[in-house]
Chains A and B, each alone.
Chain A
Amino acid sequence: MRILPFDYAIRNLGRSPLRLAMSVVGSMLVVMLMIAATAFVRGMEKSLADSGSDRNVILLGAGSEESIERSEIKASVPTQAAASLRGVRSTLGQTFISSEIHMALTVGTTRDEQSKAQVVVRGVDLPAFLVHPQVRITQGRSMNPGANEIIVGKLAATRLGMDDAQLALGKTIWFDDIQWTIVGRFTAPNTVMDAEIWVPLNDLKVSAKRDTISCAVLTLDDDGEFEDVAAFVASRVDLELVAVRESEYYAKLVAFYRPVRVMIWVTVALIALGGILGGLNTMYAAFAARVREVGMLQSLGFARRAIILSFMQEAALASMAGALIAAAASLVLLDGVAIRFSMGAFGLQLDAIALAIGLLTGMTLGVIGALPPAVRCLRLPITEALKAA
């Protein structure tokens, strides 16, 4: 089969600048939306998946397996677990068991002005930095107990709908009717902790007037096995505990958000369908005006498949140009943008997969958008096509 030269398709693109602009912009919008949706879903999944470690086990209150915030266990559990369990990681005499309180609280810059959104306030001791090695203090220092000091995550301001400057070092915020001073900023990339506020455990116990903790998080050493922790929990019925792998806890949250993800994909699919239909419409009009040209090409000996291929090259070039602009614009405008959700906040994850899906969408738009109009255009016999107006 003799095919039309590639530059024939390129030259044809410039014949109608308005149609070209419409194709490029339409493709760009659809692709950008696709990239944003992929980045959203992947960002949410990654923030939950990376929050849990396979080597970490959470000891929760029985019946609270699905929400650490609802869990309450005795404050003595970490000590009892440390004394009874084999296989818990330890360094220089420090066992990797973290006592933690997780509370969802509203926060304000003054006593009376509280945020509408809640943020997870986590009461911790120093072992928390051992069992959650993702956490790194980026500014200031760690908080000292008894001084109403806190450290805030990079995305905490986003979570609260506040300006980042309001949570700068040295600023004060109010929660639980107490004024707290920010002495440090931390980051825990791609985890829910990135949107949290960390407080000394005892300070939170005092302010919340509770003597229980939410959970104990422990890290297993190389020989440690989850089954030993489960056996400990089964043998200490007095503690009313349940052991959950941290990775499983967050995997369940990923599953919990599945309907949200499905809704996003359905919305994007509908908009992409609208984009395809719009593209089809443009192409039908464009190709209908080129019936005589098609007849001429056929009379010169070009097969119908060669002409269809050329039309598809033309449409794919336009839509891929839009897709490339969309990819570049997304990288500049969307990458890392913080999004608030009920578990905290996460950054849009504009990785290779998101970009690949976007570019593939652009290519699909071009090919699918060109094929039916091109086929329709080629239906006429050559003699009729040559006489077409």
Chain B
Amino acid sequence: MNRFNLIALSFAVIQLAGCGGGTPSAQNPGNGAQLPKTLWATAKIEGAKEILAVKADAKEGDLVTLRGVIGGAEKPFVDGRAVAMLVDMSVPTCADNGESCPTPWDYCCVPKDEKAKAMATIQVVDDAGNPLKVSLASGNQLKPHAVVTVQGKVGPRPDANVLVINVTSIHVDAQKK
């Protein structure tokens, strides 16, 4: 083996070793999990209800269609899991109230109790019912403050404020600023 090959081999080994050090992130799930291609609806999903309306009477197992804004926390997506938070359209952001805020999607001006009442969680689950090990923001289809319509089945509701939707379809209606 000549010297050039030895150097090339050394670089290859260093690069391979370097690949293992990172932690999975939204952009790099790291374990090969992918969101189903059928998740993203190309046409607008009709018949959507607001989160507050769905929360009022939804029961576990109901098929629901609801609309909301991606937000409710500074990081509304869970890194490495297909889980995100939605806020009801009626809740005003700090920006709506005329205040300057770099992360208006976290609704930091809204009291925590009120925010919890107007929030829902969407997740994409595997056959065992566990969230997929990939962020919902991984394909850059979803961003904080996006207005989305989702369709899916209601998960367990241990509390009136809890509304988890195991979504099968997501449509991005608009992107708020």
Contacts and interface: CB of A to CB of B under 8 A. Distances in A.
Interface stretch (A236-244, A365-373, A376-384): A236-244
A253 interface: no
Contact of A240 (B108, B116, B123): B116
A231 B162 contact: no
A82 to B, nearest CB: 14
Interface stretch (A42-50, A110-118, A222-230, A262-270): A222-230
A236 B81 contact: no
Interface of A: 62-63, 80, 86, 225, 227-228, 230-231, 234-238, 240, 242
A244 to B, nearest CB: 12
Contact of A237 (B119, B131, B155): B119
Contacts of A230: 78-79, 81, 83
8 contacts: A230-B79, A230-B83, A231-B83, A234-B73, A234-B84, A237-B115, A237-B116, A238-B116
Contacts of A80: 158
A227 B159 contact: no
Given A62-B112, A227-B133, A234 B79 contact: no
B101 to A, nearest CB: 14
Contacts of B164: 235
B80 A237 contact: no
A309 to B, nearest CB: 40
Name A's interface SS: helix
Given A80-B158, A86-B130, A227-B80, 8 more contacts: A62-B73, A230-B79, A230-B81, A231-B78, A236-B158, A237-B119, A237-B120, A240-B116
A236 B79 CA distance: 17
Contact of A235 (B80, B115, B123, B160): B123
Contacts of A225: 80
Which 4 interchain pairs have the tightest Cβ spacing?
A238-B161, A227-B80, A238-B159, A231-B81
A237 B158 CA distance: 11
Contacts of A235: 83, 121, 123, 155, 162, 164
A63 B112 contact: yes
B72 interface: yes
Nearest to A227: B80
Contacts of A240: 112-113, 116
Size bracket of the B interface: 20 to 34
Interface in B98-120: 108, 112-113, 115-116, 119-120
Contacts of A86: 130
A26 B81 CA distance: 60
Contacts of A238: 116, 158-162
B162 A236 contact: yes
A227 B30 CA distance: 13
Given A238-B159, A238-B161, A238-B162, A231 B123 contact: yes
B85 interface: yes
A231 B79 CA distance: 9
Nearest to A233: B78
B16 to A, nearest CB: 24
Interface string B83-97: 111000000000000
A174 B24 CA distance: 49
Nearest to A61: B112
Nearest to B164: A235
A234 B160 CA distance: 15
A237 B133 CA distance: 20
Contact of A234 (B24, B83, B116, B158): B83
A86 B129 CA distance: 13
A63 B159 CA distance: 21
Nearest to B76: A234
A59 to B, nearest CB: 14
Nearest to A62: B112
A227 B158 CA distance: 21
A227 B116 contact: no
B169 to A, nearest CB: 19
Given A63-B112, A237-B116, A227 B79 contact: yes
A72 B6 CA distance: 59
